[in-house]
Amino acid sequence: MDTVFDLLGAHEPALTGALGWTLGRSPTLMSEVLTRLGLPHDDPQAVAVHLETADAAGRTDIELRTPTAHVIIEAKQGWIVPGEVQLAAYAPRLQASADTGLDTRLVTLSDSTASWAHYVLPAAVAGVPVTHWSWDDIRAHISTARHRIRGTERLWLDQLEDYMGTATSKRPVADALAYCVVISNDQFGDATFRQYVTDQRVYFHPLIGGGWPTVPPNFLAFRWDGAVRQLNRVLDYEVVAHLSERFPAVADDHTAESRPPGDAHIVYQLGPDIPLPNGAVPSGPQNLRAQRFWVLLDQLLTQPTVIDAREATRVLGAT
13 and 150 housed in the same domain: yes
Does residue 105 sit within a domain?
yes
> From CA 35, how far away is CA 224, in angstroms rounded?
51
Q: Which amino acid is at 194?
A: R
- Torsions phi, psi for 95 (to 5 deg): -65, -40
pLDDT tens string 8-33: 887 888 899 999 999 999 999 999 99
0.75 cut: is pTM over it?
no
Provide the pLDDT for residue 239: 84
CA nearest to 89, candidates 126, 123, 52: 126
pLDDT tens string 209-241: 788 987 789 999 999 999 999 999 999 888 888
Q: Is the pLDDT of residue 261 over 60?
A: no
160 and 28 housed in the same domain: yes
> From CA 97, how far away is CA 126, in angstroms rounded?
13
Percent of the chain with pLDDT over 70: 93
User: CA torsion sign, 120 to 126 to 129 to 131?
Assistant: negative
82 and 199 housed in the same domain: no
The range of the structural domain enclosing residue 73 comes to 4-167
Does residue 133 sit within a domain?
yes
> From CA 33, how far away is CA 135, in angstroms rounded?
13
72 and 15 housed in the same domain: yes
Q: Is the pLDDT of residue 262 over 60?
A: no
Average pLDDT rounded to a whole number, residues 50-62: 84
Q: Which residues contact 120 (CB under 8 A, 6 or more apart)?
A: 81, 261, 264
21 and 58 housed in the same domain: yes
Write the burial class of residue 292 (CB in 10 Å: 0-12 exposed, 13-18 middle, 19+ buried).
middle
Q: Is the pLDDT of residue 92 over 50?
A: yes
Q: Is the pLDDT of residue 253 over 60?
A: no
Does residue 172 sit within a domain?
no
Does residue 261 sit within a domain?
yes
Counting the structural domains of the chain, the total is: 2
104 and 187 housed in the same domain: no
191 and 138 housed in the same domain: no
182 and 279 housed in the same domain: yes
Does residue 23 sit within a domain?
yes
CA nearest to 81, candidates 35, 137, 131, 37: 131
Domain end residue (candidates: 138, 167, 196)? 167
pLDDT confidence bin for 242, thresholds 50/70/90: confident
CB 302 within 8 A of CB 276: no
Does residue 58 sit within a domain?
yes
Name the more confident of 298 and 258: 298
Domain end residue (candidates: 167, 187, 213)? 167
- Torsions phi, psi for 192 (to 5 deg): -90, 160
What is the four-CA torsion angle of 277, 283, 289, 295, rounded to 10 degrees?
A: -70
pLDDT tens string 136-186: 899 999 999 988 888 899 999 999 988 887 666 566 666 899 999 999 999
68 and 191 housed in the same domain: no
User: CA torsion sign, 109 to 114 to 120 to 121?
Assistant: positive
pLDDT tens string 176-217: 999 999 999 999 989 999 999 999 999 999 887 788 987 789
Provide the pLDDT for residue 256: 44
182 and 149 housed in the same domain: no
Does residue 224 sit within a domain?
yes
Domain end residue (candidates: 167, 194, 217)? 167
Q: Is the pLDDT of residue 48 over 70?
A: yes
Does residue 20 sit within a domain?
yes
Provide the pLDDT for residue 82: 81
Provide the pLDDT for residue 260: 47
CATH number of the domain encompassing residue 57: 3.40.91
Q: How far apart are the first and last CA of the chain?
A: 19
151 and 252 housed in the same domain: no
136 and 249 housed in the same domain: no
- Torsions phi, psi for 20 (to 5 deg): -65, -40
